[in-house]
């Protein structure tokens, strides 16, 4: 049984979808994962495609209560932006900070992305 503290009571159905997502990372997610995995970034452990509450976070650092989201172009729509904002608010209510980067930022400027992540680690 998953740790309720680690997953904040995540819906059990999400674990299956998270597993599928881990096998199908986007190019940007894979690039970032290569920098986060195995405690490569300042010794912090990150999990990819991690279920939390009713969501699957692209990346989650439990030690810092930090979620990192990598957003594709569809996140620019009004409906998706509203959904993302609500999701960020729900996670903030659990003392989890969410930072977002566009796919393009990760692909074209990974050094900037890593600096921004480091600023948000405990």
As a dihedral over the C-alpha atoms of residue 106, residue 112, residue 114, residue 118, rounded to 10 degrees, the angle is -140
**In the chain, where are the structural domains located?**
26-119
The CATH number of domain 26-119 is 3.40.960.10: yes
Q: What is the pTM of this model?
A: 0.83
- Examine the pLDDT at 2 and tell me if it is beyond 50: no
The per-residue pLDDT for 18 is: 76
- The answer on pLDDT for 7 being more than 90 is no
Summarize pLDDT for 12-62 with one digit per residue, the tens: 778 866 777 777 789 999 999 999 999 999 999 999 999 998 888 999 999
pLDDT-based confidence at residue 76 (cuts at 50, 70, 90): low
Kind of pairing between the strands at 47-52 and 55-61 = antiparallel
Q: Are 106 and 32 a contacting pair, CB within 8 Å? A: yes
pLDDT of residue 4: 58
Query: What's the sign of the alpha-carbon dihedral 23, 94, 101, 75?
Result: positive
């Amino acid at each position: 049984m998953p740790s309720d503290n680690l997953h904040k009571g995540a819906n059990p159905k999400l674990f299956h979808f998270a597993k599928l997502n881990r096998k199908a990372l986007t190019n940007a997610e894979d690039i970032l994962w290569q920098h986060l995995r195995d405690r490569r970034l300042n010794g912090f452990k990150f999990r990819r495609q991690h279920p939390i509450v009713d969501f699957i976070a692209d990346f989650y650092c439990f030690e810092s209560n930090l979620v990192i989201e990598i957003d594709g172009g569809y996140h620019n729509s009004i409906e998706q932006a509203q959904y993302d904002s609500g999701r960020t608010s729900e996670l903030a209510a659990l003392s989890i900070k969410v930072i977002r980067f566009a796919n393009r930022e990760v692909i074209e400027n990974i050094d900037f992305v890593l600096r921004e992540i480091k600023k948000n680690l405990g």
